[in-house]
Structure 1
């Protein structure tokens, strides 16, 4: 009877000891999931069939498949600074050149920085004092869609290009508190 209690007590003590073990010990005993390393998982190359089955190369036991890509080597090639700094090809294909010609004139230099700056300014709410004094940055104007449609229809009717004439724009500024106060008097 006492041996049963001793065996049960040892089992309980052993179970408590295992739950308090380090993470490595828990992995060894299978108490924690052991997922594969995400950096070592790679895609398998698709199977290819040679034109004639009689020309299959002899297999090399123990060697990796010739079309298989090593995940570690592919990752190292992606992270290599030489690959990141390699310039894009400067010569465009005839199809790419035709597409660029149909897209219209080249945009001005620095347009991306200007668009990002405008978006940053528009996304920040003005401070309390700035909104009272009217010192907040003015938002960019937007195109007045009905007036622009009329302008495009007139250009089409007259045979002018769509780029002729300025696009009508709406002002996105709202009067400040002090402007509204001055308009009351």
Structure 2
């Protein structure tokens, strides 16, 4: 009976000691996963036989296979910034030229900075005085749905296309408290 308690106690102490081991010990005992290094994993080149066996090169024992590449070197080449910045082809195919012509004119060089500036101005909230005066950024107008429905029905009754006539819109501009107060009197 005491031998069982002693064996159970030793097992418990050993299990407790193993949980406190370093990562390398845990990996050795299989308590922690040991995944392969992604840059060291490579696929083996497929076996291929030439049409005639006399064309095979003589084997060189101890040397790496000539068709097998070093996975670590291939990974380093892929991640090299110089390889990522490959120059665009200098000549375009006829299809590429036709696509560029259909895309329209070339945008100005500073278009990205201009768009960012406009977005910054539009997203900036109006100040206190501007909100009182109603001088803040005006939201885009919305379509006046009943008037648009009437316009579409009139165009249909007259046999005109739906694009005939202007789309009625409501302005969403806020007049501001002081402007409404001034218009009240």
TM-score by length of 1: 0.60
Q: Point out where structure 1 has 5 or more consecutive residues left out of the alignment.
A: 155-167
Deviates more, 1:170-179 or 1:71-80: 170-179
Partner of 2:51: 53
The verdict on how the C-alpha distance between 1:48 and 1:28 changes in structure 2, with shifts beyond 3 A counting, is closer
Corresponding pairs, count: 164
How many angstroms does 1:137 deviate by?
4.8
SS at match of 1:96: helix
Partner of 2:64: 63
Partner of 2:173: 174
How many angstroms does 1:19 deviate by?
1.2
The verdict on how the C-alpha distance between 1:72 and 1:136 changes in structure 2, with shifts beyond 3 A counting, is farther
Deviations 1:118-164 (A, max 9, x none): 44555x4626636455565566x68x8x9xxx9xx68xxxxxxxxxx
Q: RMSD of aligned C-alpha atoms?
A: 4.4
Q: Point out where structure 2 has 5 or more consecutive residues left out of the alignment.
A: 149-159
Q: Distance in 2 between matches of 1:132 and 1:46?
A: 74
Q: Distance in 2 between matches of 1:64 and 1:132?
A: 79
Q: Distance in 2 between matches of 1:174 and 1:101?
A: 39
- Structure having the higher Rg: 2
TM-score by length of 2: 0.60
Deviates more, 1:55-64 or 1:93-102: 55-64
